[in-house]
Structure 1
Amino acid sequence: MSKEQEKYLNLLSKQYKNKAETITEIINLEAILNLPKGTEHFLSDLHGEYDAFEQVFRNGSGVIKRKIHHLFNDRLTSKEINTLATLIYYPRPKMSLILRELNDTEKNEWYRLTILRLIELTNFVSSKYTRSKVRKQMPSDFIYIIEELLYQNNAQIEKDDYYNEIITSLIHLNAAQDLIHAFSKLIRRLVVDHLHIVGDVFDRGPAPDKIIGRLKENHSLDFQWGNHDMIWMGAASGSAVCLANVLRISARYLNLDTVEESYGISLRSLAIFADEVYANDPATAFQPKTQEHAEETTTELQQIARMHKAIAIIQFKLEGEIIQRHPEFNMENRRLLDKIDYAAGTISIAGKDYLLTDTHFPTINPKSPYTLTPEESEVIHRLVSGFVNSEKLQEHVAFLYSKGSMYLRYNGNLIYHGCIPLDDDGSFEKLLIAGKTYSGRSLLDQFDRFARKAYSQPDGSEIKKNALDYVWYLWTGETSPLFGKKAMTTFERYFIEDKTTHYEKKNAYYQLRNNVSTVDKILVEFDLNPDIGHIVNGHTPIKEGKGETPIKADGKMLVIDGGFSKAYHNVTSIAGYTLIYNAYGLQLVRHQPFTSTEDAISNETDIVSTRRIIETETSRKMVKDTDIGFKLTAQITDLKALLLAYRSGIIKEKNV
């Protein structure tokens, strides 16, 4: 034994103080290795659609109802199964609806029957976990009671009598509702062992803050950053240009309330500035995109359009400055304000002149088009201060940094939001950063470092300023794995009628990902086995109505952005895909649009979902076959070395 090994084992002996404790832990870990792997649940591109997310999050993409069917199919009617499932999803509001129709005697009987069913279901869904793991997931207030109900000794006491005695006491103490809530929460936690969020919680929908609030409560998850998440992360880190993009998109989708009310960031300075500078501007191209059910008045909508235009012009100016100081971005063609003939009302793009649909640019100096006016500078200064000082936003962004990354290798699969940039010939696209070329995995690693530096480095430092520029590049750059297009034609969509200028050419990845050879090449680049690995990503809505499929490269590539965002429903014809990976294999779940939480609770209208089996394991996958299993195996090896050291007298036992 080397000195380093002996030193390590001495440290390990502080946790496992003698042979008995070491043997116990070895037995425990070896037993865990032979349990079935936990269920992984993949969600992507939630885009602020909290209600639809909440339903899928609570029902585990249909896993809970399938468990109920499996256990009670021959004992409960379809109506009773739907009621029990809805109760588990939303225990308190559903109980309120059920109990108001019952008298006291009926209530007591309902409590008793429901608790018995929940005990049986909890036993069923917890069977693949150790008691220790199940205990850790139990609501703290009811650990003792739940353990008594789950693990009572049937050999010594009649099951029904034992349960009934405890349940009767709970009913008399008015604690039955709390216990039902506790069991429901435990079941939801047990059916999904780990949650993957594959990017884009922010933008378009009205409640990204609520989604993050729910994710923070989850017991086990990871997060792969999306392009929309990245601009919010940049804005929270102090990037004026990311902030401008956030506000422009929020105005476009009528979601400025998310900024003002949810995150407490005042937009008064922008509103006053826009009203003064664009007072008589109809800002036709800047009218909010989704007005069908808008609560705002015509006057309010017009003010939002003015704010929209004001922040868009500020954005174009700020972007021009970044492009100029980063020639390696190769984005000079996106500096368009100096390509405008302000007298003629035209713009020159790629050698062709186009007539502008809007020529009112009161804040642009044609001789210095990228210079902010003093008033614009003051507005931006106030807005940056609001974003960096929003306690709730900073808390949420800190969560994204702590749980998130550019990509994740998990149980043999590769997970990322957008793409791995490829050239047309299938080679990894290169980007020059500080004199060094990066591509493939090294490029994503470099972007991950920039994202973290942008948040963690001191304000005003050159390192932070440079990192924030790269965060913006992740949003819109040609070689960004989060954007995946040649250029973002935001200016053209606002100011040029000719739609040929609106086209955004996708990276070659989006065509080549249909090929098995491309997927295999990417998996090898990330040190994963192409014979068994898969890639899971989102970002681009699958247009199922036009015949597109989320299953690509013979099932090795799974794209799960089916359009949670209501803005995409007309394009995708559905309302999102999710993915389930359990001990039996991979299952893609296709969802229809969600009505409302109230409808789900009152009428038990669960999201209509259909499953498609992607791949079935030849034998049930066990914990020993997972990343956690590999770590546990290494721990067992260390513990066996410690046990040998105890038996050899190299290390002395303690507390014997």
Structure 2
Amino acid sequence: MNTKYLDLLSQKYDCEEKVVTEIINLEAILNLPKGTEHFVSDLHGEFQAFQHVLRNGSGNVKEKIKDLFKDVLSEKEIIEFATLVYYPEEKLKLIKNNFGNQQDLNQWYTEIIGHLIKLISYASSKYTRSKLRKALPNQFVYIIEELLYKRDESANKEHYYKKIVQQIISLGQADKLIIGLAYTTQRLVVDHLHVVGDIYDRGPQPDKIMDTLINYHSVDIQWGNHDVLWLGAFAGSKVCLANIIRISARYDNLDILEDVYGINLRPLLNLAEKYYTDNPAFRPKINADKKVSEYERLQITKIHQAIAMIQFKLEMPIIKRRPDFNMSERLLLEKIDYDKNEITIHGTTYQLDNSCFATVNPEQPEQLLEEEEQVMERLLFSVQHSEKLARHMNFLMKKGSLYLQYNGNLLIHGCIPLDEEGNMEKLVIENKTYAGRDLLDKFEHYLRYAFAHPEETDDLATDMVWYLWTGEYSSLFGKREMTTFERYFIKDKKTHKERKNPYYYLRENEDVCRKILMEFNLNPDQGHIINGHTPVKEIEGENPIKANGKMLVIDGGFSKAYQSTTGIAGYTLLYNSYGMQLVAHKQFNSKEEVLLNGTDVLSVKRLVDKELERKMVKETNIGEELLKEISNLNSLREYRYMN
């Protein structure tokens, strides 16, 4: 090994006893059961539903409570206890209002603290004491450890333990302790969180999801197509930025830009007011529980048109300068007969409805008005100087990737582009051909380069980020074309259909899935592909478990916009040392409903895969890292202490 590295390592382990102790510790950890992984996907800004799923660990919290207290607590008491663990601050207020005197409340405090200590002991049974200590609330670490590790066979300490709890209550610390224990439980039931794409767009609070993830104890993210759109905008892509604003207008979600990220949309509104009027094709989709005045609706409709036309114009120069993208048929503004208000696509002529081409020069349809150019410059400046957005995008880049090989599974938001025979599709980039894993690695290279060089706004890297959003062989899009223009302006719904990559029907085939796993150096006998991106229509009988269990699709409709189509409100996946379970969720209405009625959003748990032998840490990604550490420590021992 590199002796300089060993010299540095010896500064931390400056005697043989420290080296030996750490080797013993790491070797022991390798033989613990693996922690529980929690997979979520396609959150689309639905913070309240996401937060609830995170707090209950997709049912893991209640499951442990049932295991531990099924013979002690009634079903109603189990629900009450679980709700307290999910929302301790709010539930405590409700519970305390039900007590008529302090003595009864103190008795309840004593019982519930005892239950929480038992629950934490049970939930932490496969963790080291050191790891548990890090999860405990700082101000109560000593007290909790005393209660957790009490051994009272001889009754010598019985009064000691009772006095600890009594003093906590009498000093007014019971609420703080209960809240701390509840959050510790939430943390212990999930060792690691995977977000398999699409945090952004459609829903109202992606920023709160990002804040939650930033503060989460262990997380990784596989970028979705909507996430890449936001990364692209921050990296300097005006066409990505136009798409973000258009989607925000379409779903009545411009507040996320203005109020949360401080992006000034006034210049865009002024432009929209000047050139556009009401247009039914561009009216926003507004949630039934939200009140919007007709004036506000009209403003959004105008902004929606203005930014859509800017987007269509900005796409055209990229398509022309990147012939390898093979998107010339999407130069739709050039295919319009502006006198007849018609367009010819694939040899068929269609009448245009709800057209709004006031800013388009028929001779040079890609040309932005000077006003449009100025608006986009100001918007881009505002985006790139938003401190909060910078924090979120930097975290998304740091924790994110296009795909992840983790504990034998392949996590990818969208697809691996395939041809009809199941072969990896090829894309030529700068005279070199890429396919499969190499293609995804190249996509990620360009995205990271664009993010690191935001001043280069018309380079191949920035164009490639947009291609990830809409290109035929993008692993995040996976369709032949994005028919946004057609959905706005052509009534014939045949033109709205977006032809999917063969991956989306070939993934039902176990042999195809095994081939993909091998492409990513994963064991096809044990591994799974975990996808998001395409909502599973359970209401129509579609099964999220495909290819004899090799393919798991966990986008079931967190986004309210999809729930009428899917029939549920999202899937999540749990993977512990015993195997995998897929969880289907009912629609989440409100935290208040959970608090008052104990209503939960879990529907059905389905066994995906049961481990023949319980999986240990040594068989995981973390185990690989620990084995490297052990090897380094053994090398240090030989180099420094055994010569």
1:75, CA displacement in angstroms? 0.3
Structure 2 residue corresponding to 1:346, chosen from 339, 342, 359: 342
1:645, CA displacement in angstroms? 3.8
Scaled by the length of structure 2, the TM-score of the pair is 0.98
Structure 2 residue corresponding to 1:487, chosen from 473, 481, 488: 481
Distance 1:159 1:627, change over 3 A: farther
- Residue 547 (structure 1) aligned with residue 545 (structure 2): no
**Is the CA contact 2:456–2:462 (under 8 Å) kept in the aligned structure 1?**
no
Structure 2 residue corresponding to 1:330, chosen from 326, 329, 333: 326
Bigger mean CA offset, 254-263 vs 473-482: 254-263
Aligned length: 642
Bigger mean CA offset, 103-112 vs 534-543: 103-112
CA–CA separation in structure 2 for the residues paired with 1:638 and 1:28: 14
- Residue 169 (structure 1) aligned with residue 167 (structure 2): yes
Scaled by the length of structure 1, the TM-score of the pair is 0.96
Letter in 2 for 1:115: I
Letter in 2 for 1:276: K
Structure 2 residue corresponding to 1:122, chosen from 115, 120, 123: 120
Residue 475 (structure 1) aligns with: 469
DSSP 3-state at the match of 1:62: helix
Once the two structures are superposed, the pairs formed by residues 406-445 of structure 1 within 5 Å of their partners are 406-445=402-441
Structure 1 residue corresponding to 2:145, chosen from 140, 144, 147: 147
Letter in 1 for 2:591: T
**Is the CA contact 2:233–2:383 (under 8 Å) kept in the aligned structure 1?**
yes
Unaligned runs of 5+ in 1: 650-656
Deviation track 1:446-472 (CA, whole Å, cap 9, x = no partner) reads 11111111111151476xx32121111
Structure 1 residue corresponding to 2:209, chosen from 211, 218, 234: 211
DSSP 3-state at the match of 2:12: coil
CA–CA separation in structure 2 for the residues paired with 1:160 and 1:338: 85
Residue 51 (structure 1) aligns with: 48
CA–CA separation in structure 2 for the residues paired with 1:157 and 1:313: 78
1:550, CA displacement in angstroms? 0.4
Once the two structures are superposed, the pairs formed by residues 275-294 of structure 1 within 5 Å of their partners are 275-278=273-276, 281-294=277-290
**Is the CA contact 2:235–2:453 (under 8 Å) kept in the aligned structure 1?**
no
Deviation track 1:552-579 (CA, whole Å, cap 9, x = no partner) reads 1100110000011111111101111000
**Is the CA contact 2:223–2:400 (under 8 Å) kept in the aligned structure 1?**
yes
Deviation track 1:129-176 (CA, whole Å, cap 9, x = no partner) reads 000111112222222222222123435655653332111111111111
Once the two structures are superposed, the pairs formed by residues 254-293 of structure 1 within 5 Å of their partners are 254-278=252-276, 281-293=277-289
DSSP 3-state at the match of 1:578: strand
**Is the CA contact 2:416–2:436 (under 8 Å) kept in the aligned structure 1?**
yes
Distance 1:37 1:274, change over 3 A: same
Residue 188 (structure 2) aligns with: 190
Letter in 2 for 1:493: R
CA–CA separation in structure 1 for the residues paired with 2:308 and 2:223: 24
Residue 105 (structure 2) aligns with: 107
DSSP 3-state at the match of 1:402: helix
Bigger mean CA offset, 327-336 vs 162-171: 162-171
**Is the CA contact 2:509–2:547 (under 8 Å) kept in the aligned structure 1?**
yes
Residue 72 (structure 2) aligns with: 75
**Is the CA contact 1:342–1:366 (under 8 Å) kept in the aligned structure 2?**
yes
Structure 2 residue corresponding to 1:180, chosen from 173, 178, 181: 178
Residue 402 (structure 1) aligns with: 398
Structure 2 residue corresponding to 1:584, chosen from 557, 578, 585: 578
**Is the CA contact 1:342–1:359 (under 8 Å) kept in the aligned structure 2?**
no
CA–CA separation in structure 2 for the residues paired with 1:499 and 1:647: 76
Distance 1:339 1:458, change over 3 A: closer
CA–CA separation in structure 2 for the residues paired with 1:173 and 1:127: 30
Structure 1 residue corresponding to 2:381, chosen from 379, 385, 392: 385
1:479, CA displacement in angstroms? 0.5
Letter in 2 for 1:210: K
**Is the CA contact 1:47–1:565 (under 8 Å) kept in the aligned structure 2?**
yes
CA–CA separation in structure 1 for the residues paired with 2:73 and 2:411: 39
Residue 202 (structure 1) aligns with: 200
DSSP 3-state at the match of 1:60: helix
1:414, CA displacement in angstroms? 0.5
- Residue 510 (structure 1) aligned with residue 504 (structure 2): yes
CA–CA separation in structure 2 for the residues paired with 1:359 and 1:36: 61
- Residue 37 (structure 1) aligned with residue 31 (structure 2): no
Residue 618 (structure 1) aligns with: 612
Letter in 2 for 1:406: L
Residue 66 (structure 1) aligns with: 63
Once the two structures are superposed, the pairs formed by residues 566-605 of structure 1 within 5 Å of their partners are 566-605=560-599
CA–CA separation in structure 2 for the residues paired with 1:643 and 1:152: 37
Letter in 2 for 1:42: F
1:238, CA displacement in angstroms? 2.0
1:609, CA displacement in angstroms? 2.5
- Residue 17 (structure 1) aligned with residue 14 (structure 2): yes
**Is the CA contact 2:236–2:454 (under 8 Å) kept in the aligned structure 1?**
no
1:199, CA displacement in angstroms? 0.3
Letter in 2 for 1:173: L
Distance 1:287 1:175, change over 3 A: same
1:637, CA displacement in angstroms? 2.6
Distance 1:97 1:379, change over 3 A: same
CA–CA separation in structure 2 for the residues paired with 1:598 and 1:446: 46
Residue 652 (structure 1) aligns with: none
Deviation track 1:333-361 (CA, whole Å, cap 9, x = no partner) reads 01100110000110011111110003331
CA–CA separation in structure 2 for the residues paired with 1:163 and 1:563: 48
Structure 1 residue corresponding to 2:229, chosen from 224, 228, 231: 231
Letter in 1 for 2:49: A
Letter in 2 for 1:351: G
**Is the CA contact 1:589–1:611 (under 8 Å) kept in the aligned structure 2?**
yes
Letter in 2 for 1:592: K
**Is the CA contact 1:240–1:384 (under 8 Å) kept in the aligned structure 2?**
yes
1:7, CA displacement in angstroms? 4.4
DSSP 3-state at the match of 2:548: coil
CA–CA separation in structure 2 for the residues paired with 1:85 and 1:307: 45
**Is the CA contact 1:62–1:609 (under 8 Å) kept in the aligned structure 2?**
no
CA–CA separation in structure 2 for the residues paired with 1:73 and 1:129: 24
Distance 1:65 1:373, change over 3 A: same
Distance 1:156 1:322, change over 3 A: farther
Residue 311 (structure 2) aligns with: 315
Residue 92 (structure 2) aligns with: 95
**Is the CA contact 2:59–2:602 (under 8 Å) kept in the aligned structure 1?**
no
- Residue 526 (structure 1) aligned with residue 524 (structure 2): no
Letter in 2 for 1:257: D
**Is the CA contact 2:235–2:454 (under 8 Å) kept in the aligned structure 1?**
no
CA–CA separation in structure 2 for the residues paired with 1:455 and 1:470: 12
DSSP 3-state at the match of 2:58: coil
Letter in 1 for 2:545: I
Residue 653 (structure 1) aligns with: none
Residue 654 (structure 1) aligns with: none
Bigger mean CA offset, 252-261 vs 637-646: 637-646
Letter in 2 for 1:623: V
Distance 1:186 1:291, change over 3 A: closer
**Is the CA contact 1:22–1:643 (under 8 Å) kept in the aligned structure 2?**
yes
Structure 2 residue corresponding to 1:453, chosen from 427, 449, 465: 449
CA–CA separation in structure 1 for the residues paired with 2:254 and 2:3: 60
Alignment root-mean-square deviation, CA? 1.4
